[in-house]
Structure 1
Amino acid sequence: MNSLAFEDMAEETRRAVDEADRFEELSPAVPADAVDLKPVPRIAIQAFCESDGVADTVETAARDRRMAKAHVKVHKGGVAAAIDFYGSAPTPNLIVIESLSDPGGLLEGLERLAEVCDAGTKVIVIGHVNDVSLYRDLIQRGVSDYLVAPIDLFQLIGAIGSLYVNPDADPLGRTIAFVGAKGGVGASTVAHNVAWSIARTYESDVVLADLDLAFGTAGLDFNQDPLQGVYEAISSPERLDEVMLDRLLSKCAEQLSLLAAPASLERPYDHSESTFDSLVELMRQGAPAVILDIPHGWSSWHRRLLASADEVVITAEPDLANLRNAKNMVDTLKQLRPNDVAPRLVLNRVGVPKRPEIKAGEFTDALGLDAVAVIPFDPLVFGTAANNGQMIGEQDERHPSAALFEQLSQVVTGRAEIQKPKGLDLAGLMSRLLKKG
């Protein structure tokens, strides 16, 4: 690579860093308990707000991925406006009322609202008085919940979700989507090793879905050759249930199940935006962790799955094309998921001999992200594991990459934070790996 290309790369990196800094200044912090929020079902919600702050919060919450199925409309005005509106219109599943009135005025208004409400309509009140006795009075009168302003969108989504999620139902599993910034960067290898690591480390059920129907490698990596899998699941969505899914899954380990891709070119695989919705929802009901191995690409269904996942992991190699693609993906996903943690970054095949590379620190600075894992180039161990149908931890549990996959599994399951490597001696690590070879 000539000096001019390196100068262009450096200038593009500097611009990317500046853009990332500006974006981070505008991005809200995501509280730790946001990951426990339950998705809101397909319901109609109408809010009557007396202050701009609460109205803005409701509108922001309506754009969150966990509210994607709900239909939300915001009106100006409080209880009085709601009474006038529903005097000639049916009430929705849920009414959110903000009130600036004193407790007496609020209770009087709600009694009048009850006269025009249809049976089954729930009410959440947002008030400006922090009073336990008021809360008890509201609950006794049938109000579903009382929130004290100011509120944030996570409080509101949590309150709505708690009204419509069966407390006796099993919790939904965590969806973790893996995708490559470029084709062939090893995103599937990372996904498969993390799935295996989660199942082994936490002794928890994991479902791995290989969504690259034409060229998926999960079956090869786990030495499985199932006759059915993802294609059969999405071909008959009306028949898909727990029994059918269980029949389509193949067992890779004690607590790791695989929904394999056909890896066949007998037919084209033209997916619609919602092709995988029912399948993902069903898998989440049956396993605490659902790993989505998503092929590189950018279609409506790629965008939908990445936007709706609980965690997104982008795997990239340290070159300019990967940096550009990863930057585009990170920026787009931050806009699609403004209330979620940023995508996780894995740098793979770092330290390829004689290959010009962008330094890991410069790469991550350009994206405004810390790398969850920096995986060194080791073709012998990774190639042997792939040929044997094994994961790295099975091939050599003391290999440095096995520990990296375990650390990544802790981060994406919400059990650990990213640990910045202190003075990573990549040259020394590569020297030890080459001696092993």
Structure 2
Amino acid sequence: MSDIAYKDAGMAQGQNSTSQLSTSNFQIVSIPRISVQAFCLDSRTAETIQNASVDRRMSKTHTMVQQGGVTAAIDVFKSAATPNLLIVETLSNSKEVVEELDQLAEVCDAGTNVLVIGRVNDVDLYRTLIQRGVSEYIVGPIDIARLINTIGQFYSDTSAEPFGRTIAVIGAKGGCGASSIAHNLSWSIAKKLENDVAIADLDLPFGTAGLDFNQDPLQGVMEAIASPDRLDDTLLDRLLAKCNDRLSLLAAPATLDQTYDFEPDKFDQVIEVMQKGTPTVVLDLPHSWNGWVRHILAKVDEIIIVAEPDLANLRNAKNLVDRIAQLRPNDAKPYLVLNKVNIPKRPEIKPDEFSRALNVVSLATIPFEPALFGTASNNGQMIAEFESRHAVAGLFEDMAVKVTGKAEMQTKNKSLFAALIKKVRK
């Protein structure tokens, strides 16, 4: 049995069949825009995964294949975020496999699917690994068709909730730089964390994402919401402008030829389709208060309020925090980013006093650097592109780690995978 997934009915009954399964019985599905890292011990396995990565059904994925197996994966992810899908190969016996994966679980982030390729044909081992949080175990050597099918099963449930994390960025006051924060944050998540990101510029009349990313797409948000019955991953791909290999933009029209009054749920389908195809979705919201902005704030995973350290911003931020608490009584409070701090001669509220008054977590304090931000914007660049060693570039990288949940996982040093293992151990 060269590559059997133990969910076969025969193995579920404990039979030890060694018959070859035909891949023609499997429906091979397209894989969404995910990051995949594989750690292999057998050169044939590495070659198979590499060849699968260029298949049309995996054309949206970013796949990296390395040698070293489980031990190498543990070493890498002690100090790095795990991908959407982690593939590890092991040649160990049943007892050693369990021990290896127990160690891997301790460095594996929440939400990461783990596919194990082994050599032990044992239903008891399969059941043990599934109980411990492994997404799937298959016996190698593998072939391309079964590999793609196995990966596809993780993301093929159309009734499942979208897997992309949504982050909404909104300014407490016009001109506080919320869009600049949203754009630079998106770039840092994409480039520094190597995580695919889609950003939607929802400041429809005055959006600046196209300018900041040096893009001039002919289509964008308005085309996406024009035909909700036709909107799917394929159509959205045509509407997204590619800013780099991991960052895509759904641009605002940035015109005043119409008003932008919509029903509260007008953007729901656009956001859901973006989530299904992209691990991280950043929503650049306008500084306005209407039904659809309020509706989006009630539904996203994370909210970032951007403010300047003055009294008007504090009042507006307090109103936002209070209203969001009513909309999301069971969710964490928004993050705060203080921007344009230390403007010469301006009376300012100290950052710690500002965040304490709101009783929220301060994500970052961005200093007033008009030349840095202005020049980067004029060049159509992000701060880390324009001056990668500047302290502000580091602040955006730190923000990316925190808001995507990577900092929390590194601090706790465990995942759902690890939690399941601890539960089984009891």
> Is the pair's TM-score, using the shorter chain for normalization, greater than 0.5?
yes
2:186 alignment partner AA: A
Query: What's the offset of the Cα at 1:370?
Result: 2.9
Does residue 331 in structure 1 map to residue 322 in structure 2? yes
2:335 alignment partner AA: R
Q: What is the aligned partner in structure 2 of residue 268 from structure 1?
A: 259
**Secondary structure in 2 aligned to 1:202?**
coil
Partners of 1:340 and 1:184 in 2: CA distance: 28
Partners of 1:378 and 1:251 in 2: CA distance: 28
Partners of 1:278 and 1:286 in 2: CA distance: 13
Instruction: Give 1:13-412 correspondences, 5 Å limit.
Output: 166=157, 172-412=163-403
Query: What's the offset of the Cα at 1:170?
Result: 8.9
Partners of 2:159 and 2:230 in 1: CA distance: 25
The alpha-carbon distance between structure 1 residues 361 and 412, as it changes in their structure 2 partners (threshold 3 A), is: same
CA RMSD of aligned residues (A): 1.9
Query: What's the offset of the Cα at 1:166?
Result: 3.8
TM-score (norm 1): 0.57
Partners of 1:364 and 1:237 in 2: CA distance: 40
1:211 alignment partner AA: L
The alpha-carbon distance between structure 1 residues 297 and 243, as it changes in their structure 2 partners (threshold 3 A), is: same
Partners of 2:158 and 2:169 in 1: CA distance: 30
2:271 alignment partner AA: V
Task: Give yes or no for contact 1:370–1:418 (8 Å, CA) kept in 2.
Answer: no
Query: What's the offset of the Cα at 1:417?
Result: 4.6
Listed one character per residue, the Cα deviations across residues 363-416 of structure 1 (whole Å, up to 9, x for unaligned) are 111111231100000001100000000000001111111111111111111111
Task: Give yes or no for contact 2:224–2:231 (8 Å, CA) kept in 1.
Answer: yes
Task: Give yes or no for contact 2:338–2:366 (8 Å, CA) kept in 1.
Answer: yes
Partners of 1:418 and 1:267 in 2: CA distance: 45
TM-score (norm 2): 0.58
Q: Which has the larger radius of gyration?
A: 1
Query: What's the offset of the Cα at 1:168?
Result: 10
Partners of 1:366 and 1:359 in 2: CA distance: 11
Task: Give yes or no for contact 2:334–2:361 (8 Å, CA) kept in 1.
Answer: no
1:278 alignment partner AA: Q
**Secondary structure in 2 aligned to 1:292?**
strand
Partners of 1:239 and 1:213 in 2: CA distance: 21
**Secondary structure in 2 aligned to 1:253?**
coil
Partners of 1:194 and 1:316 in 2: CA distance: 15
Identity of aligned residues (%): 62
Partners of 2:214 and 2:157 in 1: CA distance: 39
Equivalenced residue count is 255
Query: What's the offset of the Cα at 1:340?
Result: 1.4
Which has the higher mean CA deviation after the structures are superposed, 195-204 or 309-318?
Answer: 195-204
Task: Give yes or no for contact 1:392–1:402 (8 Å, CA) kept in 2.
Answer: yes
Query: What's the offset of the Cα at 1:359?
Result: 1.1
The alpha-carbon distance between structure 1 residues 261 and 357, as it changes in their structure 2 partners (threshold 3 A), is: same
Query: What's the offset of the Cα at 1:202?
Result: 2.0
Query: What's the offset of the Cα at 1:205?
Result: 1.1
Partners of 2:315 and 2:296 in 1: CA distance: 21
Q: Which runs of 5+ in 2 are unaligned?
A: 1-155, 411-426
The alpha-carbon distance between structure 1 residues 382 and 247, as it changes in their structure 2 partners (threshold 3 A), is: same
